[in-house]
Amino acid sequence: MKFKFIQCLFVTAIIFGLAIQFEAKAQEKADIVFMTNGEQKSGKVIGVTPEIVKFKYTGEDLEYEIAKENIAKIQFSSGRVEEFTRTLNSGTSISSQSAMPNQSTDVHNKIAVLPFQFISNDPGFDPSALSNLAQNTTANSIKEQYGSLTLQDPITTNALLAKNSIDHTNISSMTPEEVSNLLGVEFIVYGTVNLTNKGASTYGSTGTSYSQREKNNSNRSSSDTRTKGSIFSSSSSSTTVEYDTSVDFRLFNNRGTNLYSDSRHVFGTDANAYTAGIDYMIKRTPFGSKYGKK
């Protein structure tokens, strides 16, 4: 009986000691890393190099390396705050603070569609307007097809890009991982529409009608047939511009992994035939109805 009592005291002492250690660790201040996508990481910064920050989460021993270009600022446990600013290859300075779309830390299952690159030899087209039109067309199709994902409205996407001075001239200098982190989404869609004017074709038709009146007189074995009539002719023509269309569609996640990529020549010769090509490829991504998802 005395031995069991001593055992109980020993176990109680161990539990009490562990509780004190846990409370001490809980009260220990942590470094907070603020990411450009609004996420906050709490733990310990154990090293900083010109390109990366070495970091451990609170209560873990695994060491992570975080690219400095994805960090907005670090608030150290001492109270000191270090902010980061990154620069595109074009020389345009981007403030990591303004790159934060919101303070939400949840990017799971969020998807954004970038403005499409629009290429055409037809000077009558406005590339900027048609770029946004293809973007909106794709976003609407994704909203209908991908019931498991949350679509970021193209207005929000374009506003975040504009605030960071990003457009078609310099976005190629950023990785898909950087762009998705900037927009605060897990998935991102790139697209290109190439519309080639093949020239105009004229189609015409001519119609002829014959109006006649026939009279038959029968008198035993003889017959008298007289025919009178008039011929009327009409013609019409129409001119149509024909286009050769190809569409490139790529889907990435926020780790830079290419989940789907396809380029297709689209059936049809009218200017908006690209919409059918976009719908075709959207259905064939891992989130599309061809995979049994909607």
Examine residue 4 and state whether it is found in any structural domain, yes or no. no
174 in the same domain as 87:
no
Look up the domain containing 184 and give its range. 106-198+240-291
163 in the same domain as 281:
yes
Whether residue 146 is predicted with pLDDT greater than 60 in this model: the reply is yes
174 in the same domain as 281:
yes
187 in the same domain as 42:
no
For residue 249, what pLDDT band results from cuts at 50, 70 and 90? Answer: very high
Average pLDDT of the residues of the chain: 78
246 in the same domain as 127:
yes
Whether residue 15 is predicted with pLDDT greater than 50 in this model: the reply is yes
Whether residue 246 is predicted with pLDDT greater than 70 in this model: the reply is yes
Residue 237 has what pLDDT?
63
Last residue of a domain, one of 52, 74, 101: 101
**pLDDT tens column, 72-89:** 889 888 888 888 765 444
Examine residue 13 and state whether it is found in any structural domain, yes or no. no
Kindly report the pTM of this predicted structure: 0.55
263 in the same domain as 179:
yes
79 in the same domain as 213:
no
Element (H, E) at 196: strand 187-219
Examine residue 2 and state whether it is found in any structural domain, yes or no. no
216 in the same domain as 182:
no
Residue 267 has what pLDDT?
85
Total domains in the fold of the chain: 3
Examine residue 156 and state whether it is found in any structural domain, yes or no. yes
Residue 96 has what pLDDT?
43
- pLDDT average, residue stretch 245-258: 94
Residue 158 has what pLDDT?
94
Residue 221 backbone zone (phi > 0: left; psi -120 to 50: alpha; other: beta): alpha
Give the side-chain half-sphere CA count within 13 A for 234. 4
Residue 229 has what pLDDT?
56
Find residue 170's DSSP bridge partners: none
